[in-house]
């Protein structure tokens, strides 16, 4: 039995894995899909001070208090930052890091530092036009979600992302490199700008496992069976 910890990306929550978790559990595995502070079932905790460090604590504390080991730690999108920092803090607990169309961080840099400058400027403009501290959710169509029911589900549950999570530089000691396995899953149709270079680096590095799914940025919604099969291969 493997232990999966699934960490969602911006605007989402643990709810977004609802089509994937039953498939992993049916195969006999233990699965955790927490919501990060300020999102999902913890949206009532949103405040301007929510940052990357708090989200790292969310996942590290889950692992510590549940005494989880041998973890397949999956991070979607922004959560590539979170899972890397968690692995840097407790590398002995993690068996496999899986970056699901996710940011692969650089020490000392934030999400806004590693994405293209034009995209970072759009993010800041979106926050300024909103309430000054939250980035409004992207429309489903921009994420490659064409099914009307899926789009309504996403719209009903997505919440604004506290921008400090994207402004906060990550601090890494390099201990995450001790995790024995790393996988990058690239969602190529439509691709999200800013992740192509990270995907290409992983695809060309023999120390990484690499997969592509011909779907949009949220495959846990659009192609859950294909995603689940890839994750089952990450044990």
Q: What is the pLDDT of residue 227?
A: 98
What pLDDT does 54 receive? Answer: 98
Please calculate the CA angle 169-170-174 and round it to the nearest 5 degrees: 145
pLDDT digits (tens, 9 = 90+) for 40-74: 999 999 999 999 999 999 999 999 999 999 999 99
Q: Is residue 193 predicted with pLDDT exceeding 90?
A: no
CA distance 38 to 11: 9
Instruction: Round to whole Å and give the CA distance between 102 and 63.
Output: 21
pLDDT (average), residues 174-192: 96
Q: In whole angstroms, what is the distance from residue 149 CA to residue 29 CA?
A: 29
Within 10 Å of residue 88's Cβ, how many Cβ atoms? Answer: 23
Classify burial at 122, counting beta carbons within 10 Å of its beta carbon; exposed 0-12, middle 13-18, buried 19 or more.
Answer: middle
Residue 167: the pLDDT is: 98
Distances (CA, A) of 51 to 118, 166, 181: 22, 8, 27
Catalytic residue among 10, 35, 77, 110: 77
Q: Where are the domains of the chain?
A: 3-232
- DSSP SS3 for 32: strand
Q: Which CATH architecture has domain 3-232?
A: 3-Layer(aba) Sandwich (3.40)
The whole-number pLDDT of residue 97 equals 98
- Residues 163 and 202: their CA atoms lie apart, in Å, by 27
Give 132: exposed, middle or buried? Use CB within 10 Å, 0-12, 13-18, 19+: exposed
- The answer to whether the CB of 208 falls within 8 A of the CB of 235 is no
Exposed/middle/buried for residue 31 (C-beta within 10 Å: 0-12, 13-18, 19+)? buried
Model confidence at 194, pLDDT cuts 50, 70, 90, reads: confident
What are the distances in angstroms from CA 175 to CA 19, 57, 114, 119? 33, 17, 21, 30
Cis amide bond preceding 66, omega within 30 = no
Answer yes or no: 35 catalytic.
no
Q: What pLDDT does 122 receive?
A: 95
pLDDT at 121: 96
Q: Are 144 and 187 in contact (CB under 8 A)?
A: yes
């Amino acid at each position: 039995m493997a232990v999966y910890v699934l960490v969602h990306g911006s605007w989402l929550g643990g709810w977004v894995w609802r089509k994937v978790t039953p498939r992993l559990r049916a195969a006999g595995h233990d699965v955790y899909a927490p919501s990060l502070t300020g999102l999902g079932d913890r949206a009532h905790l949103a405040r301007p001070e929510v940052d990357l460090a708090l989200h790292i604590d969310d996942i590290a504390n889950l692992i510590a208090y549940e005494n989880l080991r041998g973890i397949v730690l999956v991070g979607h999108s922004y959560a590539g930052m979170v899972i890397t920092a968690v692995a840097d803090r407790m590398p002995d607990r993690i068996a496999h890091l899986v970056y699901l169309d996710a940011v692969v961080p650089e020490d000392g840099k934030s999400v806004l530092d590693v994405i293209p400058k034009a995209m970072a400027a759009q993010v800041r403009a979106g926050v300024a036009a909103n309430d000054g501290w939250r980035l409004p959710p992207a429309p489903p169509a921009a994420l490659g979600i064409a099914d009307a029911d899926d789009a309504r589900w996403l719209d009903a549950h997505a919440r604004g992302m506290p921008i400090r999570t994207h402004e906060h530089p990550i601090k890494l000691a390099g201990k995450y490199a001790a995790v024995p396995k790393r996988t990058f899953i690239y969602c190529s149709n439509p691709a999200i700008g800013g992740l192509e270079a990270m995907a290409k680096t992983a695809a060309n590095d023999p120390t990484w496992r690499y997969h592509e799914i011909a779907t949009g940025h949220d495959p846990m919604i659009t192609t859950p069976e294909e995603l689940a099969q890839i994750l089952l291969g990450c044990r």
